[in-house]
Amino acid sequence: MKIAIGTDHAGYPLKETVIAAVKASGHEVIDLGIHTLEKADFPDLAELVGNTIQSGRAERGILICGSGVGVCIAANKMRGVYASTCHDTYSAHQGVEHDGMNVLCMGGRVIGIEPAAEIVRAFLSACFIHDERFTRRFNKIKEIEARGK
């Protein structure tokens, strides 16, 4: 898979760890920035990652800001982007398997290097389970999205 990655300045310290975990899992990285510790606004990075998924250039994305919350809120404003903040491995794989999550959000000021790498591996190794109940629920999410309220 191609994985789009974006961080603001608060998420930047985890970026190399995340990139290494993605590559070690056998996936390709699309690094959308930032590339220095210079201040950056998280909505801009969330939009870049979201656009990359919407265009089909990446199948999934990873966003990192200070808490993981801001990038998650911003990313979820985009059609076809299903983001969640995860600071544990269970949520990271279950979000993909049951809920169709395609963007993992993490807080660079919340978790450390090893947990971040483990969470990335859990996210990337998971696949949506095409069970009737999960498909039904995911389709309901897409219906809400299509109504745009």
DSSP SS3 for 117: helix
pLDDT of 149 over the 80 cut: no
Q: Quick check: is 27 catalytic?
A: no
In this prediction, residue 148 has a pLDDT band, given cuts at 50, 70 and 90, of confident
Q: Which pLDDT value is given to residue 51?
A: 98
pLDDT tens string 22-41:
999 999 999 999 999 999 99
Q: Which pLDDT value is given to residue 78?
A: 97
Q: Which pLDDT value is given to residue 61?
A: 99
CATH 3.40.1400.10 correct for 2-147:
yes
Question: ∠ at Cα 100 (6, 48), nearest 5°?
Answer: 20
* Per-domain boundaries in the chain: 2-147
Rounded mean pLDDT, 101-128: 98
In this prediction, residue 147 has a pLDDT band, given cuts at 50, 70 and 90, of very high
Q: How far apart are CA 34 and CA 131, in angstroms?
A: 38
Q: Which pair of structure tokens corresponds to residue 51?
A: 């656009």
Please tell me which residue in 86, 98, 127, 130 is annotated as part of the active site: 98
What are φ and ψ of residue 113, in 5° steps?
-65, -50
Please tell me which residue in 9, 35, 65, 105 is annotated as part of the active site: 65
Q: How far apart are CA 26 and CA 125, in angstroms?
A: 10
Q: Which pair of structure tokens corresponds to residue 61?
A: 């994305």
Nearest to 116 by CA among 4, 1, 22, 10: 22
Q: How far apart are CA 79 and CA 106, in angstroms?
A: 20
Q: Quick check: is 98 catalytic?
A: yes
Cα dihedral value 52, 53, 56, 60, nearest 10: 120
Q: How far apart are CA 23 and CA 114, in angstroms?
A: 15
In this prediction, residue 127 has a pLDDT band, given cuts at 50, 70 and 90, of very high
pLDDT tens string 38-90:
999 999 999 999 999 999 999 999 999 999 999 999 999 999 999 999 999 99
